[in-house]
Structure 1
């Protein structure tokens, strides 16, 4: 039986990865700042992190925050993993971190490099954005009578549960380096996704696309965050919306 540590284990992705690995019969340590047993702040590190990593075979690093600190957290985790003799470090990244000059993407790319240069056996999986992100974005934008969207930008959202399945599969295998990207089943314009969201939530809003300035917008417009050749996801945005909002209505 393999002992696996999942960081960010109380988050949307980490929780699902933890569940799948436990269902597979592995001993799984769930680490996050709010986890009941391994309550560790990766940015601070310390003896709690060493205790969490001790005796672990594989680490699935899901912990992340757009508020900053991911590089420091990864460096602390890698140092603890080296001391403990961990054999395999898996990192979940984002498609386009090397093509889109967004600050958060640059940080994810820096953590990829730390992983690759860690001296540990490593695997990096890049996925497109989860369905949750456009849902949250449209929820905020639909508070106004008109939804203003970036013109010419598409997205390829993927279901988080499918990414969790892939990470659990990778955690049960040998280090594989940079594996093939994982994208959602469809590349869709922001406007079409927004209209699907409005239909699912029963809201009536005008959708207006506007051009934006800057290198980041141009990179998104060029599709730097997309992986159309790796459209391996199964659940569409409409599937996600139906499940999400029908369950809310039943609740």
Structure 2
């Protein structure tokens, strides 16, 4: 199985040689200053995983072992979480900042993403309830002033779209943001939660079915069926425990700057490179 190393900075020959030795590969061949590939590494045992983590982590190198023989164009769908994955912020935390409750809401968000709060529905309701009475115009301010795409997002999306892959943004966040990102990024499908707004104010309630871990996984499966693909042809990218179930049904799961519980269960972890690190994992 191929081993891929990638970094934001040039990879040094010494680091490549040490990684090659750890992985018992015959050669680590540079593809560019920042990407190198070994076509034959040792089986990915827990011991090898720990050794690569221990060596690569302090050097800001991301490593991945991927199935041999697959091309990026063999996949049919790229599904992404939104908050802290496709974008750099947690929208609900930034909304809460406008009513002076960012610290309180952020603490609940972090606990939920780490998996410490197992009832996502309850954690979302608790956070949204704190927003009651806030002017809905704040949502537009968060989008305009604070929402930023994660590094590499546009390059990754443009490349996979050019290869014919469909794209899905599925979020435990809010449709106010996914609806604006959909045309901006030419996304094919989106799903998220709806904040109830009455007379221009947030009521503190969520309307309809909450997009929790089960709904995320179901949405990935439904979109795969809709486009005539199998879940094994899906790539799923996420950062929090709410993403684990949809990542588990995918052919490839990518933990993006993720919580430890997510990194431990994902096929691949990007702790340093951008979302376009996906493009280095497979021939196109």
- Under TM normalisation by the shorter chain, which class is it? 0.3 to 0.5
Calculate the TM-score normalised by the size of structure 1.
Answer: 0.35
Tell which has more relative contact order, 1 or 2 (C-alpha 8 A, sep 6+): 2
TM-score, normalised via structure 2 length: 0.31
